[in-house]
Amino acid sequence: MTTPLRIGFIPLVDAAALIVATDKGFAAAEGLDITLAREVSWSNVRDKLNIGLFDAAHLLAPVAIASSLGLGHVKVPIVAPFNLGLNGNAITVSPPLHAAIMEEIDGDRFDPMATALALSRVVAKRRKSGAEPLIFGMTFPFSTHNYQLRFWMAAGGVDPDEDVRLVVLPPPYMVDSLANGHVDAFCVGAPWNSVAVDLGIGHILHFVSDILVAAVEKVLAIRQNWAEKNPDVVAALVRAHLRAAEFIEQPENRAEAAAILAQPERIGVDAEVIQRTLDGRLKISPDGAKRESKRYLLVGREGAARPDPAQAAWLYAQMVRWGQAAMKPEALKTAMDVFRPDLYDAAVGRRPPTDAPQAIGAFAGPPFDPSDIRAHLAAFEIGHWKP
């Protein structure tokens, strides 16, 4: 007997474990009959999950938290027993903006502080000349992309709410928006940064791992009440996804995984582009310059699949910093309770690790302590929260 499930996803490479678990048969081996529903926007995924059209979803980690807190929409508690990806985002800029930043930079072009300070000088020059503010695309107000852009800009003195414009665009529309000059830059997950570079219309300025050592991007999201009624199905989902993640992380399987993901009904871009992403070897400029990073898109390695409530605390702190949420201890607890390492551990039959999870590792500010959110926020001059 199999359990039918309908799961929503956005065409991004950090849906890899979900897609491979379904198409490679790992879910079927756990007694799950998954139908995948490809969506364009995160609001569609969230809404269909919340009202029960989806049993689970590939979801932005901050959306799971916002839904549980009732921020920006109806309140529907969500649990996340599995991380689908860490560090999969990148910031891509247009050739004119890239040239302007490189002209102003003082230091290593891969140092986010150097580029943030250069951006601040570009912004100041544009203001002086009367030019329109730069426009940056991100995928959702409650998104890692939004917070990563803001964290980076603000570290260099750019106020993301006063000095530039941030606009919401679905991930598949980012490239066309850059090509048409509607935005000057964007932060999005793979493969859309690479697609822009291959088309000659963008330069990858930063991998998100330049900004944060470990940043959870997407989670496998399930409504809390559904998860409580179906614990065996949740455990089977976790096991199937972990098998898929471990399969993907084996170098000898990357070509097969990329071919699965490249199918038109899945991500629908060239398999070679997807394999570059999985291998962490990306072309970053139209002239063919490449950059390699072992920290670009962790699907299962380094314990990436196990949820870490400290990551949820960091995301909640960004919501407070940028005026999306009030500072409340009970809200912090609710946010951290979304990430469920206990469900992960029970499903895979492993004891909780005794070593501490890897730090958030932001390039600016003090080390993040989830037990002292106020100290984190007080370290930054730009933001909506004031001590």
Predicted confidence (pLDDT) per residue in 80-128, tens digit:
999 999 999 999 999 999 999 999 999 999 999 999 999 999 999 999 9
Residue 291 is assigned to a structural domain of this protein: no
Q: Are residues 197 and 223 in the same domain?
A: no
DSSP per residue, 289-355:
-EEE-TTS-BSSGGGTTS--HHHHHHHHHHHHHTTSS---HHHHHHHHHHB-HHHHHHHHT-PPPSS
pLDDT confidence of residue 93: 98
What is the C-alpha separation between 221 and 301, in angstroms, rounded? 20
pLDDT (mean) for 184-193: 95
Q: Are residues 355 and 316 in the same domain?
A: yes
Q: Is residue 236 scored above 80 in pLDDT?
A: yes
Percent of the chain with pLDDT over 90: 94
Q: Are residues 259 and 308 in the same domain?
A: yes
Q: Are residues 247 and 315 in the same domain?
A: yes
Residue 161 is assigned to a structural domain of this protein: yes
Name the helix (H) or strand (E) containing 167.
Answer: strand 165-168
pLDDT confidence of residue 357: 59
pLDDT confidence of residue 387: 75
pLDDT (mean) for 164-183: 95
Task: Quote the mean pLDDT of the chain.
Answer: 95
Q: Are residues 204 and 221 in the same domain?
A: no
pLDDT confidence of residue 76: 97
Give the structural domain span for 109.
Answer: 89-211
Last residue of a domain, one of 187, 211, 235: 211
Q: Are residues 206 and 220 in the same domain?
A: no
pLDDT confidence of residue 113: 98
Residue 257 is assigned to a structural domain of this protein: yes
Tokens 């959110």 appear where?
373
Q: Are residues 250 and 201 in the same domain?
A: no
- pLDDT tens string 321-378: 999 999 999 999 999 999 999 999 999 997 766 555 567 999 999 999 999 999 999 9
The residue among 357 and 173 whose pLDDT is bigger is 173
Name the helix (H) or strand (E) containing 236.
Answer: helix 231-248
pLDDT confidence of residue 386: 81
Residue 287 is assigned to a structural domain of this protein: no
Residue 383 is assigned to a structural domain of this protein: no
Q: What is the CATH number of the domain that holds 193?
A: 3.40.190.10
Domain count, the chain: 2
Residue 285 is assigned to a structural domain of this protein: no
**Sheet with strand 135-138: strands edge to edge:** 165-168, 135-138, 185-189, 89-93, 203-207
What is the C-alpha separation between 250 and 91, in angstroms, rounded? 27
Last residue of a domain, one of 164, 186, 211: 211
pLDDT (mean) for 136-146: 96
Q: Are residues 204 and 224 in the same domain?
A: no
pLDDT confidence of residue 353: 67
Residue 384 is assigned to a structural domain of this protein: no
Q: Is residue 186 scored above 60 in pLDDT?
A: yes
Residue 31 is assigned to a structural domain of this protein: yes
Q: Are residues 55 and 136 in the same domain?
A: no
Q: Are residues 150 and 226 in the same domain?
A: no
pLDDT (mean) for 277-286: 95
Q: How confident is the model at residue 31 (pLDDT cuts 50, 70, 90)?
A: very high
Name the pTM for this structure.
0.95
Last residue of a domain, one of 188, 211, 234: 211
Q: Is residue 381 scored above 80 in pLDDT?
A: yes
Q: Are residues 76 and 131 in the same domain?
A: no
Tell which residue, 100, 141, 96, has the closest CA to residue 286.
96
Q: Is residue 385 scored above 60 in pLDDT?
A: yes
What is the C-alpha separation between 157 and 82, in angstroms, rounded? 35
Q: Is residue 33 scored above 60 in pLDDT?
A: yes
Other C-beta atoms closer than 10 Å to the C-beta of 55 total 22
- pLDDT tens string 119-138: 999 999 999 999 999 999 99
Q: Are residues 307 and 222 in the same domain?
A: yes
